[in-house]
Amino acid sequence: MSNIQVKALGENRYEVSVLERSPTTHIITVPAAYAAKLTNGMASTETLVEKSFEFLLEREPNTSILRSFELSVIGRYFPEYERVITSYF
């Protein structure tokens, strides 16, 4: 399992560090309404971001993940994202 660190940068912005052989850093924007939709208020946005990166890392290497994106973009690449992620909460 990858070592994922999530740090809040301000309102709706997070820095994600994936510490693997080739470490990467990503800036993620998560609109509050989208976070509430996915977690049903059952988890923090930081937890949502961490679980979202676990989801991504099961499908691609960290070096292939966009360096900056809004969380909803994941669903464009992986249509099952919202269904899978909401099952965690």
7 forms bridges with which residues in the sheet?
Answer: 15
Distance of CA 21 to the CA centre of its chain: 20
Residue 1 has pLDDT above 60, yes or no: no
Number of domains present in the structure of the chain? 1
Which of 36, 88, 38, 32 lies closest to 58, judged by CA? 88
Q: What is the mean pLDDT of residues 32-51?
A: 96
Structural domain including 54 reads: 3-86
C-alpha distances (whole Å) from 80 to each of 51, 55, 71, 76, 87 are 14, 10, 14, 9, 11
Specify the residue for token string 């660190």: 5
Count other C-beta atoms under 10 Å from residue 51's C-beta: 19
- Once rounded to an integer, what is the mean pLDDT over residues 14-30? 96
Over residues 18-40, the mean pLDDT reads 96
